[in-house]
């Protein structure tokens, strides 16, 4: 078996890359270790930069996004019993859109299959050869080898692609907290996201739809999920979101809950021979900056353009520049995500001096147009 591009991983990065290549007339095969039901129903948040929504529309999968996505023109920083709005669109001319990663995956799977795309679910990748490019995998009880021109490793942080790159240099940081995220069948209590800093810990009020809310609480990394019954979650959320003007949090049935550790991670370079890493296979950001999915979209957009240039003209200049091009954006997003995380979370090891500095910084961002613009510019996303 042979294809032009073998794509390891059928998450949003791998599926979008396959779609972008298809639009350029380039063949690909997507190898995904999980079954289709798991891939299409794995719960993930989705705050999309304007550049990401533009890419999805241009790739032909923007119809449901435009119909159901929730466009936001601002966000709220909440601390000291008061809210402070950051007017994203007024400051940058750009917007963000809430549309769950889960739904993006459904859209991409449906579009690729309708176009005759080759997605092989439950395909366990056994070996990647980056030099004489091929991927060996087990599917339906048999072992196969897929020969190709290039391999795209889009299989996430725990995938097999990154270990196939020799001599990687890695950079990482683990944070002393995690997020307890819940999905609740209750209309959101806000029209825009609320990022709340509180002495008891960070909280985030996001939206999934006009009838479904997504909320997060800062907890310890070793937190026991069983120690958080629904009543305790709602009580803690209400305490951290409380304002002096009596704002009230709506409560409803919680349909999903999970604890997510927080880390920053970058692997360099993002290419070895004919193997290219993209998305979480190469980098992880804490979710505070809402950059994970957007970085993956940026990576595969750069890669798709580079491959299109290679097949159109024979030039490999864009492929040669792939790692450096992507890493420039990755490190900017890493810094912004780190900055948002340390600005808003309660560090259990912080002394009083550090806490006062943190509060002073929050006051500055809320009162300075220059500081607010810097936050807004990074949040809506730098141009692709």
Instruction: Report pLDDT for 110.
Output: 96
Instruction: Report pLDDT for 67.
Output: 95
Instruction: Report pLDDT for 384.
Output: 78
Cα angle for residues 141, 142, 146 (degrees, 5° grid): 135
Instruction: Report pLDDT for 279.
Output: 97
Q: Is the pLDDT score of 105 beyond 80? A: yes
30: enclosing H helix or E strand: strand 28-31
Note the pLDDT tens digit of each residue in 290-327.
999 999 999 999 999 999 999 999 999 999 999 999 99
Instruction: Report pLDDT for 137.
Output: 98
Query: Does residue 226 contact residue 258 with C-beta atoms inside 8 Å?
Result: no
Note the pLDDT tens digit of each residue in 208-253.
888 999 999 999 999 999 999 999 999 999 999 999 998 999 999 9
- Kindly report the average pLDDT of the chain as a whole number: 96
Active site residues: 72, 195, 287, 291, 379
Q: How far from each other are the two terminal CA atoms of the chain, in whole angstroms?
A: 34
Q: Is the pLDDT score of 9 beyond 90? A: yes
Note the pLDDT tens digit of each residue in 60-104.
999 999 999 999 999 999 999 999 999 999 999 999 999 989 999
Domain with 18 in it: what CATH number?
3.50.50.60
User: What is the rounded average pLDDT of the residues 134-138?
Assistant: 98
Q: Is the pLDDT score of 160 beyond 90? A: yes
Percent of all residues in the chain with a pLDDT value above 90, rounded to a whole number? 95
Q: How many domains does the chain have?
A: 1
Please give the residue range of the domain that contains residue 382: 1-384
Q: Is the pLDDT score of 45 beyond 80? A: no
**E-only strand ranges, 148-253:** 150-153, 169-184, 194-196, 203-209, 212-219
Helix axes 352-367, 322-344, angle to 10 degrees: 110
Percent of all residues in the chain with a pLDDT value above 70, rounded to a whole number? 99
Q: Is the pLDDT score of 43 beyond 80? A: no
Q: Is the pLDDT score of 24 beyond 90? A: yes
Note the pLDDT tens digit of each residue in 244-294.
998 999 999 999 999 999 999 999 999 999 999 999 999 999 999 999 999
Query: Does residue 153 contact residue 164 with C-beta atoms inside 8 Å?
Result: yes
364: enclosing H helix or E strand: helix 352-367
CA proximity to 192, closest of 56, 304, 89, 115: 89
């Amino acid at each position: 078996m042979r294809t032009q591009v073998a794509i390891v991983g059928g998450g949003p990065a791998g599926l979008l890359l396959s779609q972008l290549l298809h639009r350029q007339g380039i063949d690909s095969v997507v190898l995904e270790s999980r079954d289709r039901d798991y891939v299409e129903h794995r719960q993930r948040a989705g705050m999309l930069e304007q550049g990401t929504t533009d890419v999805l529309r241009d790739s032909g999968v923007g119809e449901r996004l435009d119909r159901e996505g929730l466009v936001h023109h601002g966000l709220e920083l909440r601390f000291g019993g008061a809210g402070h709005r950051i007017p994203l669109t007024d400051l940058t001319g750009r917007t963000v859109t809430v549309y769950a990663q889960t739904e993006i995956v459904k859209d991409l799977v449906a579009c690729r299959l309708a176009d005759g795309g080759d997605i092989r679910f439950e395909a366990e990748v056994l070996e990647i050869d980056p030099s004489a490019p091929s991927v060996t995998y087990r599917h339906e009880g048999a072992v196969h080898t897929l020969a190709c021109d290039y391999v795209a490793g889009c299989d996430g942080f725990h995938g097999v692609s990154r270990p196939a790159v020799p001599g990687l240099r890695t950079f990482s940081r683990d944070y002393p907290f995690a997020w307890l995220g819940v999905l609740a069948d209750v209309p959101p209590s806000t029209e825009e996201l609320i990022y709340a800093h509180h002495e008891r810990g960070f909280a985030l009020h996001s939206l999934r739809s006009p009838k479904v809310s997504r909320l997060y609480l800062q907890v310890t990394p070793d937190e026991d999920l069983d120690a958080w019954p629904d009543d305790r979650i709602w009580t803690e959320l209400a305490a951290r979101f409380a304002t002096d003007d009596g704002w009230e949090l709506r409560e409803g049935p919680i349909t999903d809950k999970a604890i997510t550790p927080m880390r920053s991670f970058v692997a360099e370079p993002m290419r070895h021979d004919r193997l290219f890493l993209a998305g979480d296979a190469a980098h992880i950001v804490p979710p505070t900056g809402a950059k994970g999915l957007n970085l993956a979209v940026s990576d595969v957009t750069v890669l798709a353009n580079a491959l299109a240039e290679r097949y159109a003209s024979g030039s490999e200049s864009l492929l040669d520049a792939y790692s450096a091009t992507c890493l420039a954006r990755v490190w900017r997003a890493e810094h912004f995500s780190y900055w948002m995380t340390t600005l808003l979370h309660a560090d259990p090891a912080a002394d009083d001096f550090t806490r006062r500095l943190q509060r002073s910084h929050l006051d500055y961002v809320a009162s300075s147009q220059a500081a607010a613009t810097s936050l807004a510019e990074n949040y809506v996303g730098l141009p692709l």
